[in-house]
Amino acid sequence: MPEITQQLDYAQLRARAMESLFEAFDSLCEGTVVVDRNARIVWINERYAARFGVADAKAAIGKEIEEIIPTSLMREVVRTGRPLLLDILDVNGESFVVTRIPIKDGNGDTIGAIGFALYDKLQPLQPFYARLHRLQHQLAQTQQHLAAERRAKYTFTNYIGNSPAATQVKQQARRAARLDTTVLLLGETGTGKELLAHAIHAASTRADRPFVGFNVAAIPENLLEAECFGAAPGAYTGAEKKARIGKFELANGGTLFLDEIGDMPLALQAKLLRVLQEHEVEPLGSNKVVKIDVRVIAATSRDLKADVAAGRFRADLYYRLNVLTIHLPALRERTEDFGPLCDHILEQIAARTRLTLRELDPAALALLKRCRWEGNIRELRNVLEQACMLADGPRLTEADIRGIVIPSEAAPPAETVDAAAITSYDEALAAFERNLITQTLRLTDGKVTEAARRLGLGRATLYKKIAALGIASRD
């Protein structure tokens, strides 16, 4: 008997608690509404009804909830049986914080729903919204920062020069930007391969997607695979406890720039070839295969053909990369661009160091043109920066430059000719021509058209001389 009494007390207490909770909410909230399983109103308090232009709350009884509250989600709560604990309801320019809870019978079936309009002003929730706003702002800033890091930094306007060689490179690069295919950039160090890769991406259909640069030669060989293709947690000694995302996955949807591709170990070349062919990566230590959509731009200062012949580079990978190849000319091959290049570099130096913008004296410019520039534009930038730091006047003179660089002839020293071996003037002249043409072809990497331009000869005339003198050429 006492046990039954205790159960009755618990049931009465629970019923009274629910009644008290409803009465408290009804008195404290701006509005309360109850609907049945068909989302028809079975009760609404006077204050809430008045908010929606209903003078007598009894007039709303039996009507579908949307007739009184057009934007109500009470029908959704009844349909799903799931509560909507915190939402904003906009009514005639006013905002209500509302809570909607399903009503269920003893079997757990939804038989209706109850909604409370907690506040007619958002002021009580301002601390919550302020914190939410701060978190959203921090998230947006982080996303913007990451996007900026993965965005192309240069366009074709940053590739300075209007010489025939520079113009040809920009034309080829613009064509490459329109074609969503693999690009191979070849050229000496400092010729602007990375800049051109950025520009190709910026002008392509992938411009709004990530651009990820990756220098193969800068990563230790034992970490290269994980850096490139990713790694599963604990895949190797010292590995992170969480999965590492590789550069290919980071660049998914965009462009991956593989700089110094010629330095990639043979073992990884096979894996790279599979990625390029199958468009999927398998992280180190994982059986999971990740599908990717990446446009690859590769670059190297090495002679890949010679490396293939020597067995240092896979022939199949070379042919897979060598789809659209662009040769970047050395600085000494585009002397017409020295003026604009030097002006551009001097402007950048002045902006970065906040020093006076220097001008280049014509004699100093002529001296720069006579240098070999083995480091190309990177070396030129270094020389001009040193000169700006050391010079006193507003103009960089020949003396300012000469103290930093040692000029040399544009061509290698001519081979000496044994005068005793020359039997006639014609032989001497032929020896001179052979040496001059050979050295010029060496400078132009065997390009007859460029050599003819430098020598001031017609292309056909130079071909005849090459054939007559027995000189090897490339084109």
Please state, as a whole number, how many other Cβ atoms lie within 10 Å of the Cβ of residue 82.
12
Confidence tier at 211 by pLDDT (50, 70, 90): very high
Tell me, what's the pLDDT at 436? 79
More reliable by pLDDT, 23 or 282: 282
Tell me, what's the pLDDT at 260? 93
Average pLDDT over residues 175-182: 93
Average pLDDT, the chain: 82
pLDDT at 3 over 70: no
**Are 262 and 187 a contacting pair, CB within 8 Å?**
no
Angle at 356 between CA 355 and CA 358, to 5 degrees: 115
Residue located via tokens 């896979």: 314
Tell me, what's the pLDDT at 339? 92
More reliable by pLDDT, 418 or 263: 263
Tell me, what's the pLDDT at 139? 66
| pLDDT tens-digit map of 330-368 | 999 998 999 999 999 999 999 988 888 899 999 999 999
The Cα–Cα gap between 3 and 13 comes to: 15
Nearest one of 200, 201, 150 to 174, comparing CA atoms? 200
Domains in the chain, CATH or no CATH each: 2-125 (3.30.450.20), 156-327 (3.40.50.300), 332-402 (1.10.8.60), 419-469 (1.10.10)
The Cα–Cα gap between 298 and 322 comes to: 9
* 423 burial via Cβ count (<10 Å: 0-12, 13-18, 19+): exposed
* 217 burial via Cβ count (<10 Å: 0-12, 13-18, 19+): middle
Tell me, what's the pLDDT at 71? 83
The Cα–Cα gap between 142 and 81 comes to: 38
Tell me, what's the pLDDT at 418? 52
Nearest one of 180, 202, 298, 290 to 246, comparing CA atoms? 290
**Are 264 and 247 a contacting pair, CB within 8 Å?**
no
Question: Lowest mean pLDDT: which of 30-44, 161-175, 205-219, 230-244?
Answer: 230-244
| pLDDT tens-digit map of 235-280 | 665 555 677 888 999 999 999 999 999 999 998 999 999 999 999 9
Please state, as a whole number, how many other Cβ atoms lie within 10 Å of the Cβ of residue 186.
20
The Cα–Cα gap between 456 and 199 comes to: 34
| pLDDT tens-digit map of 319-332 | 999 999 999 999 99
Tell me, what's the pLDDT at 283? 86
| pLDDT tens-digit map of 272-310 | 999 999 999 988 878 888 899 999 999 999 999 999 999
To the nearest 10 degrees (0 to 180), the angle between helices 164-178 and 193-202 is 40
Confidence tier at 473 by pLDDT (50, 70, 90): low
Average pLDDT over residues 99-122: 82
**pTM of the model as a whole:** 0.58
